[in-house]
Amino acid sequence: MAVSGGIAAYKSAELVRLLRKKGADVRVVMTRSALQFISPLTFQALSGNPVHTELLDAEAENAMGHINLARWADKIVIAPATADTIAKLSHGLADDLLSTLCLAATCPVYVAPAMNQAMWHKPVTQDNVKRLIAYGITMIGPGQGEQACGETGYGRMSEPAEICERLWAEPAAPYLHGRKVLISAGPTREPLDPVRYITNRSSGKMGYALARAALKAGARVTLVSGPVALAPPANADVIRVETAAQMHEAVISRAEAHDIYIGAAAVADYTPVAVQPEKIKKQDEQTTITLQKTRDILAEVAQLARRPFTVGFAAETHDLETYALGKLTTKKLDMIAANWVGRDHVGFDSEQNALQVFWADGRQTLSMTGKLHLAEQLISLIAKRYDEKNTA
Ligand SMILES: Cc1cc2nc3c(=O)[nH]c(=O)nc-3n(C[C@H](O)[C@H](O)[C@H](O)COP(=O)(O)O)c2cc1C
């Protein structure tokens, strides 16, 4: 949310509260003029995040600068938007944090104007508004009524509840529209004999949540799934496999026909050298099973001639960052999402998770939340990185 210097800035505090109540993660940017109307402390307390005010601030740039803020946001709303800010945006100026952020943003931008009715009706303001609409920015309001200056007419900022509803009602842009996304999910089963197998604790929940999130983002989704107890998402093309070898075949044969591959399956690293044709009998006190390495699906996808944007997962019990960064470089991945496993209530088979996401020149923490919400954030991040790679 961006706040510019109008008297209606006090209403924005209520907007932050309402957005947070809906479950949104809110970061507030204020112009220098806005600081004269309301304290950043108010927004900091209500949003639970530091408030951003300066474009040229080395410390803020390290923490979350204007480009990162622009990438982070799913939506930007400017409330109140002054005549001055509208004029700046309509001409592509970028001389403060708010205007630079809007210029750098690829997400939908909403503008809630608030100004004196004469300022609103001025042809120059109306021209600026038309220009913003032509550039794809959505106007919310203004409303009509009594104004702070004592006049009556158009120019009142829309009520926070109305702005909140509009933001909520409009789906985020289907940012993967037309893209083909291949996702592998769940565990594999490596048979020992006709009745036994080696497997792992993966439930497939994260992979299935990613499939739903990618579908919601407009993608066409192929889901290669190991054995799980989950209902497949409607509209996904689901391919069921059991062993690591079957998963390898299913993924490799399809990967080049997809734009993005997300390897969220927990594929067995080793498989028994031989599957006994008959049930192994209980005989000796100890027995040995010889295992051989399975093929590395992620690394092979990343080496294909027409490789998709390749995203790996790292589930680690220790040294998360070291292992994740190691996998990113040795397997030549575009991105890796790492999470802790073997701890209570996170990772495998839990409803919640948190991720550390790494790519060649950046990283982002997605904090603990439900797997579907987390999947939506990861899909949004993947889509942004994918776009950047393909427009670079
Ligand atoms: C008391 C006061 C109230 C103001 N209210 C508004 C307003 O509601 N809308 C507006 O467009 N400008 C208003 N202004 C003028 C802006 O603050 C001024 O144009 C400023 O340069 C806007 O900067 P910004 O767009 O970077 O925030 C007001 C100015 C003052 C002193």
In a domain, residue 105? The reply is yes
Residue 102 bears catalytic tag:
no
In a domain, residue 281? The reply is no
**Residue 169, pLDDT score:** 78
Helix, strand, coil: what percent of the chain each, to 5? 35, 25, 40
Same-domain status, 130 and 210: no
Same-domain status, 214 and 257: yes
- Which of 126, 145, 168 terminates a domain? The answer is 168
Task: Give the separation between CA 130 and CA 116, rounded to whole angstroms.
Answer: 18
Angle at the Cα of 94 (from 117 to 74), degrees rounded to 5?
A: 85
Same-domain status, 194 and 312: yes
In a domain, residue 147? The reply is yes
Residue nearest to atom 26 of ligand 1 (CA): 31
* CATH at residue 142: 3.40.50.1950
Tokens for 363, please give them.
């990283």
301: containing domain: 180-272+287-391
Tell which residue, 389, 392, 388, 380, has the closest CA to residue 176. Answer: 380
**Residue 312, pLDDT score:** 97
Ligand 1 centre to CA of 82 (Å) is: 6
C-beta separation of 331 from 302 below 8 A: yes
Ligand 1 centre to CA of 314 (Å) is: 50
Task: Give the separation between CA 253 and CA 256, rounded to whole angstroms.
Answer: 7
* CATH at residue 240: 3.40.50.10300
Same-domain status, 332 and 192: yes
In a domain, residue 278? The reply is no
Q: In testing the pocket of ligand 1, which one of 29, 32, 55, 82 has its CB within 8 Å of the most ligand atoms?
A: 82
Query: Which element (helix H / strand E) includes 78?
Result: strand 76-81
- Which of 168, 196, 228 terminates a domain? The answer is 168
Residue nearest to atom 4 of ligand 1 (CA): 6
In a domain, residue 370? The reply is yes
Same-domain status, 40 and 79: yes
Residue nearest to atom 10 of ligand 1 (CA): 82
Residues in contact with 24: Cβ distance below 8 Å, sequence separation at least 6, in sequence order: none
State which ligand 1 atom lies nearest to the alpha carbon of 119: 11
**Residue 251, pLDDT score:** 98
**Residue 79, pLDDT score:** 98
In a domain, residue 213? The reply is yes
Ligand 1 centre to CA of 319 (Å) is: 51
Same-domain status, 246 and 150: no
Same-domain status, 295 and 208: yes
Task: Give the separation between CA 161 and CA 6, rounded to whole angstroms.
Answer: 19
Q: Residues with beta carbon inside 6 Å of ligand 1?
A: 4-8, 31, 33-34, 82-85, 114-115, 119
Tokens for 40, please give them.
């950043």
Query: Which element (helix H / strand E) includes 197?
Result: strand 196-198
Same-domain status, 19 and 143: yes
Same-domain status, 89 and 187: no
Peptide bond into 80 cis (omega under 30): yes
Same-domain status, 242 and 154: no
Same-domain status, 207 and 105: no
- The number of distinct structural domains making up the chain is 2
Residues in contact with 307: Cβ distance below 8 Å, sequence separation at least 6, in sequence order: 255, 256, 301
**Residue 7, pLDDT score:** 94
**Residue 172, pLDDT score:** 58
Same-domain status, 249 and 317: yes
In a domain, residue 62? The reply is yes
In a domain, residue 173? The reply is no
Count Cα neighbours of 106 within 13 Å in the Cβ-side half-sphere: 15
- Which of 144, 168, 192 terminates a domain? The answer is 168
Question: Is 107 exposed, middle or buried (CB count within 10 Å of its CB: 0-12, 13-18, 19+)?
Answer: middle
Full pLDDT tens readout for the chain, 392 residues: 999 999 999 999 999 999 999 989 999 999 999 999 999 999 999 999 999 999 887 766 656 688 888 888 989 999 999 999 999 999 999 999 999 999 988 788 999 999 999 999 999 999 999 999 877 788 999 988 888 888 888 899 999 999 999 898 766 556 788 899 999 999 999 999 999 999 999 999 999 999 999 998 889 999 999 999 999 998 899 999 999 999 999 999 999 999 999 999 999 999 999 999 999 999 999 999 999 999 999 999 999 999 999 999 998 888 889 999 999 999 999 999 998 776 655 555 667 788 999 999 889 888 777 788 889 889 989 998 998 888 76
